[in-house]
Chains A and B, each alone.
Chain A
Amino acid sequence: MSTTRSQSEFLALRTKAIESLMVEKGLVTADVIDDVVRVYEQEIGPLRGASIVARTWADPEYKRRLLEDGTAAMKELGIQGFAASIMVVLENTPKVHNLVVCTLCSCYPWAVLGLPPRWYKSPAYRGRVVRDPRGVLREFGIELADDVEVRVWDSSSEVRYLVLPERPEGTEDLSEEQLAALVSRNAMIGTAFADRPAS
């Protein structure tokens, strides 16, 4: 849903007022604000998660460690941070499809995937996906076969999930960097498959 121009202006002004009070009271500084915005706009994004997935495709031993203890195996790659203190990795297979939601708010592994997209935070996704996952997946262009088991993970505590998509065919000769380019944010939530390499 879009906000009208005047609503948007009102919210911008209101936020400025809160900012100025919080700075005055010593709760926050402009430095802190700039740091947070820069980190999420420029430094932390889905590429971090994609690099983890690419490593698992290239290195079965790393994959084993990641599935056993996601938090520790991500730290090996230097990936940790706020909203990723406890990470669990879910492996998609031809017979099991995992997807992640937070029905109560929008819990999401910020340090691994960046901040969540709007649809992930919307009541439409949060409400429906636990009840009709196949219907929701259809809206993302995914049709699952009848014999595929669907597992929906509702992130209701401080545990965060990363879906490990299946490695597409025809990727044997690709480098880790090329593999990572096939892994979209949605694939790591479970609302997409990994892309096939362009031929």
Chain B
Amino acid sequence: MATTERSTPTDDTVVAPRVNGAHDVGGALDVGPLAIEVDEPVFHEPWEGLVQALSMGGIVAGAYTVDDFRCHAEGMHPASYMASSYYEQWLYALEKCLLQSGAVTAAEIEERAEAVAADPDAPRPRGENAELRAQMKELLALGVPELAPEGEPRFAVGDEVQTRVIRVAPGHQHVRLPGYTQGKRGVVEVVHMPQALADAVVAGKGIQPEYVYTVRFRSSDLWPGARATDSVTAELWESYLEPAPSTGSDR
């Protein structure tokens, strides 16, 4: 058996986190202390629940996709992203989605914001749409249906793969390949049914379903000094992966 090269961490195993936007924090250590709140409420303030419902409502109405929503949240200025609460990030993404879809204009938002500020207790508009309500009920109760398989998966359980390196412009392009996993060797652990390729959806190229794989990475291949027995997995679309180059240890 040939020797492996994994025992000594070197500088090139150090990953610079946040490669594709402020959201891409996997591996970042300068992200502050953990704040664990006991028995926290679902929503800390009523507007948070409203943002949650509006964001889901826009998806159900077909104004934008969940991938568009994530893409816009990722485009937030890094300093703002880190200083904002979760639902502030959502509100930002929601506004961007509505603007980009053409559903509302920036002028309309500013005008309405002033009007609401001037009379915050004005009666809340109700609207009427039984179909939207039924669609939301279905989404909440049943979720989204699986996509049908297309062709054969390129990789099988146990295959060694290498992740690609993909850089995007945050807020304009989108990728679901975490920065810390990029350019790394891993092993396929699960083959999942195809899912819409988030990158393509955001680019307006349709859903382009691809098989998705749970890929296991040895922690010591990701982080200097980490234990080789520990591991991290990520679920990665087929086009994020290549067969791993031979290490010379194959027969």
Contacts and interface: CB of A to CB of B under 8 A. Distances in A.
Interface residues of B, number: 102
Contacts of A159: 192, 212, 214, 235
B54 A15 contact: yes
22 contacts: A1-B83, A12-B46, A19-B50, A21-B108, A23-B126, A28-B132, A29-B133, A32-B60, A33-B50, A33-B53, A81-B140, A81-B141, A82-B139, A82-B144, A103-B24, A105-B70, A118-B86, A130-B26, A132-B29, A149-B231, A151-B232, A151-B233
Contacts of B23: 104-105
Contacts of B180: 103, 130-131
Contacts of A36: 49, 52-53, 56-57, 136, 140
B113 interface: yes
B52 A18 contact: no
Contacts of B171: none
B116 A13 contact: yes
Q: Size class of A's contact patch? A: 35 or more
B2 interface: no
Interface of B: 17, 23-37, 40, 42-47, 49-54, 56-58, 60-61, 63, 70, 73-74, 82-83, 85-88, 91, 94-95, 98, 103-104, 108-109, 112-113, 115-117, 120, 124-129, 132-133, 136-137, 139-146, 176-178, 180-181, 190, 192-193, 195, 212, 214, 216, 219, 222-223, 226-227, 229-237
A41 B43 contact: yes
Contact of A82 (B37, B49, B143, B226): B143
A51 interface: no
A171 interface: no
The 8 closest A-B pairs by CB, nearest first: A103-B26, A28-B57, A29-B127, A127-B28, A36-B53, A85-B143, A157-B235, A127-B25
Interface in A136-152: 136, 139-140, 149-152
A178 interface: no
A118 B40 contact: yes
Contacts of A18: 54, 91, 94-95, 98, 109, 112
